[in-house]
Amino acid sequence: MAANRSKSRSAAKKAKPAAAKPGPAAAKKSAPAKKARPAPGRAAKAATDSKAKAGASKKKADVSKAKPGTSKAKPGDSKAKAGTSKAGASKRGAATKAKAGRAADVLDFGGFPAGSVTRHEVTLCLACIFKLFTNQLGLAPRTAYNEIRRYTPTVEELTSRAPARPFFKPSSEKDARCPYCEAPKRWHASLPVYRIEGGKAADAARRTLLKKLPVGEGEFQLQEEKRTARQVFFEWLERLGQTLDFEEDAAWMPEAARAFLERREPKTDWAAAFEGARQVRRSHRLDAGCEREGARLFLAPALYNEVLLVQYLVSRSHRHGGRTFEGRLTLPDLVGRLRHGGHLAAHGITERDRFDVLEQLVEHLTGGDAPARLYFIIDRRQLLERARNAYERQTT
C-alpha cells in the first residue's frame, strides 16, 4: 500500500500543475471567454505552458523524492500529496457506484480521540472547471474530464474562509446556483476536508482508518503538513470560535470549556460531566480532573484556570476584553486572577509585564514551538461521481 501511495503521489504531482495552475485566478478570466473564445493560438499556448510546467514540476518532484529530509517546503506547501491515482479507470465505473453505497461508512472517525478531528466543507463547481478546461485551455471534453478526475486542490483552497472560483461556500438552499456561472446543483460537488491532529492515540486511529480507505480511483486524497503545537492550537481555537454564538454566554461558555477539556483530557467522558450542569466552578479539593455535585461541575484549579484562558482567547476578538465563567475580563484582570489563584506560580511564570505573562501562559497552554503534524483527508467521492455524470451529460 505504501508503494501504491508514493506512486500515486508522483502522479498527483504531475497532474497538479495542469489542473491547479489555471485554478481560481485563471478561472476568473474564463468568464468573458463565454462571449469571446480565446484565439486558438492563445489556448494552444496556454496548454503548452501548462505542459511545460508539468514537466518542470515532475523534475522537482523527483528531486524532492530523492532527498526527502532536505525539503524546505513551507507548512502550506502540500508536500505529501497522495490519493489521486491513474485516471482512465472509468470502466470500473459501475463497480465504483456499487462501492459508493458501502463506502459511505468507510470514513468513520469514531475511533479518534475527541477534538482531534475537524471537518470543513466547500463546494466545487464542475461547470466552471469544465468551461475553463474546454474553452480556455482548448481541451477536448474527454481530456477535461480526465483532468478533473486528477484535480488535487490544496488544503488552503479548500479551507479558505473566502473561497475563490471554482470553489464556493456550501448552501443549504434547494435551488442553489454557482455564484460564478449560475450552474444548477447537479454541477456542484461537495468536497469535505477532515483535519486530523497528530498524537499518539490519533496516529493509531488514523493508521487503522487509512488501511480501510479505498484509494484505487483517488476517492481520498491525503495530505500531511508540519506545524508548531501553538499553530495547531490556534487553528483549532479559530475553528471553534467560528462555531460559537457569542451572543449566548450560557451556551457558548460551557461549549468552549467542554471542547477544550475534551482536547486536553480525551480519556474523560466530558459529555457526561457537562450533561445537565448549570454551573462550572473551581474546586480546591481536587488535584486533577472533575467532580459533579448536583447541577454543579467542579474542575481542578489547573483545568479551571486553563478554561478561563481559553474562553478569554476565543472571545477577546468578539468582545471588549474576553468573556469567561468569571465574567468579562481584561488582560490585567485575567492575569491578576491567575496570579492570585497560584496558576502562574505553578507554571513558574515570574514575569511582571502582563503581555509577557500572557505569552508564557499561551506557551504552556499550547505547547509552543514543539513540532506538530496535521493530516488532511479530502473526500473526493462526490467530485468523481458528479464529474462522471457531467461528462456523460456533455457527450449524450
Between CA 326 and CA 299 the distance in angstroms is 14
> Do residues 76 and 225 make contact, with C-beta atoms less than 8 angstroms apart?
yes
- Nearest approach, Cβ of residue 255 and Zn ion (Å): 36
Angle separating helix axes 141-150 and 381-395, nearest 10 degrees: 180
Task: At 232, list the grid cell.
Answer: 495547531
- Nearest approach, Cβ of residue 380 and Zn ion (Å): 18
> Do residues 290 and 273 make contact, with C-beta atoms less than 8 angstroms apart?
yes
Between CA 18 and CA 352 the distance in angstroms is 55
242 backbone dihedrals φ, ψ, rounded to 5°: -70, -25
192 backbone dihedrals φ, ψ, rounded to 5°: -75, 140
Of residues 124 and 297, the one with the C-beta less far from Zn ion: 124
Of residues 127 and 253, the one with the C-beta less far from Zn ion: 127
Of residues 45 and 393, the one with the C-beta less far from Zn ion: 393
The position carrying cell 434547494 is 174
Single-letter amino acid code for the residue at 326: E
Beta strands 167-168; 322-324: pairing state? unpaired
Interface residues toward Zn ion, by CB under 5 A: 125, 127-128, 178, 180-181, 183
User: Quick one: 396 exposed, middle or buried, by C-beta within 10 A (0-12, 13-18, 19+)?
Assistant: exposed
Of residues 138 and 163, the one with the C-beta less far from Zn ion: 163
- Nearest approach, Cβ of residue 385 and Zn ion (Å): 18
- Nearest approach, Cβ of residue 393 and Zn ion (Å): 15
Of residues 177 and 230, the one with the C-beta less far from Zn ion: 177
Between CA 80 and CA 223 the distance in angstroms is 5
Of residues 96 and 123, the one with the C-beta less far from Zn ion: 123
User: Quick one: 252 exposed, middle or buried, by C-beta within 10 A (0-12, 13-18, 19+)?
Assistant: buried
Between CA 385 and CA 55 the distance in angstroms is 29
- Nearest approach, Cβ of residue 160 and Zn ion (Å): 17
User: Quick one: 35 exposed, middle or buried, by C-beta within 10 A (0-12, 13-18, 19+)?
Assistant: exposed
Of residues 127 and 139, the one with the C-beta less far from Zn ion: 127
- Nearest approach, Cβ of residue 390 and Zn ion (Å): 11
Of residues 123 and 283, the one with the C-beta less far from Zn ion: 123
- Nearest approach, Cβ of residue 395 and Zn ion (Å): 19
- Nearest approach, Cβ of residue 188 and Zn ion (Å): 8
